[in-house]
């Protein structure tokens, strides 16, 4: 038996090595990350909160920054950089736009052929940084909601998984490869990855979190503990 377990949900996983994420130091909104040459949107969000809540402690600021996983931070940073370029080409302050300007930006993304989900990422990224409009967070403003519905209706998102495949076809192929001792390391690795995927119904990202350092022998088999957080 092979058990694929997420670290936060399994007994004894406290010994697993935590994933360390770089913590951006507070800085003035709009300045560039000296190491990567790009703006850090998590710090921008914290700057905005510190301006709103003048008594916000440094620890609270760091915890707020840590609420974004690395993948989310990279996505939002990419979205923000594109928003800045769009604003600069029109002499617009990216931190103080009008609602109309934000709507025009989102509409321009649709005109360029971006999908509904992608435009939704831009909306979410801007919502984290920009101030409220008419008392609404940007993503909840009625005009933004209606625009996003228009994007959805005009170009409905395609199914994420348009095709399916038969499990027995895969297992038959794996069986045809013969005994494990006769397989090359590359073929054996491919076989193991597929069997783990079938046994756990996990995502590709889950398999990437597996490590030989987190394998435990149990009375009924082996337990594989993920070395990081699963995608939600």
How far is Cα 161 from Cα 187, in angstroms, rounded to an integer? 26
CA distances from 227 to 78, 206, 217 (A): 27, 9, 16
What are 91-125's pLDDT values in tens digits? 999 999 999 999 999 999 999 999 999 999 999 99
Q: CA–CA separation, 13 vs 166, rounded Å?
A: 34
Tens-digit pLDDT profile for residues 150-197: 999 999 988 877 778 888 998 999 999 999 999 999 999 889 888 888
- In terms of pLDDT, which residue wins out, 40 or 94? 94
Q: How far apart are CA 211 and CA 230, in angstroms?
A: 14
pLDDT at 229: 66
pLDDT (mean) for 131-155: 95
Predicted local distance difference test score (pLDDT) of residue 40: 54
What distance in Å separates the CA atoms of residue 69 and residue 89, rounded to the nearest whole number?
30
Mean pLDDT over 44-63 rounds to: 64
Residue 125 parent element (H or E): helix 116-129
Per the model's pLDDT, the better-predicted residue between 95 and 42 turns out to be 95
Extents of the domains making up the chain = 44-154, 167-201, 204-231
Binned at pLDDT 50, 70 and 90, residue 37 comes out as very low
Secondary structure class of 5 (helix, strand, coil): strand
Whole-angstrom distance, CA of residue 13 vs CA of residue 225: 7
pLDDT of residue 60: 79
| 44-154 fold | DNA polymerase; domain 1 (1.10.150)
* Rounded (to 5) percent helix, strand, coil in the chain: 55, 5, 40
């Amino acid at each position: 038996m092979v058990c694929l377990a997420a670290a936060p949900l399994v007994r004894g996983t406290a010994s697993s090595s935590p994933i360390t994420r770089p913590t951006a130091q507070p800085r003035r909104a709009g300045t560039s990350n000296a190491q990567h040459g790009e703006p850090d949107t998590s710090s921008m969000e914290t700057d905005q909160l510190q301006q709103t809540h003048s008594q916000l402690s440094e620890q609270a600021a760091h915890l707020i920054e840590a609420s974004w996983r690395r993948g989310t931070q990279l996505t939002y940073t990419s979205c923000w950089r594109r928003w800045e370029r769009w604003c600069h080409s029109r002499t617009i302050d990216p931190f103080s736009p009008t609602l109309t300007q934000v709507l025009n930006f989102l509409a321009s993304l649709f005109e360029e052929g971006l999908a509904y989900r992608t435009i939704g990422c831009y909306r979410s990224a801007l919502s984290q940084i920009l101030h409220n409009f008419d008392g609404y967070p940007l993503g909840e403003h009625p005009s933004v909601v209606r625009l996003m519905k228009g994007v959805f209706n005009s170009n409905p998102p395609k199914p994420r998984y348009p095709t399916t495949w038969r499990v027995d076809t895969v297992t038959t192929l794996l069986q045809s490869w013969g005994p494990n001792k006769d397989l090359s390391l590359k073929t054996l690795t491919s076989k193991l990855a597929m069997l783990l995927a079938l046994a756990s119904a996990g995502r590709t990202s889950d398999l990437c979190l597996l490590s030989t350092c987190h394998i435990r022998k149990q009375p009924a088999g082996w337990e594989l503990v993920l070395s990081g957080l699963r995608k939600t």
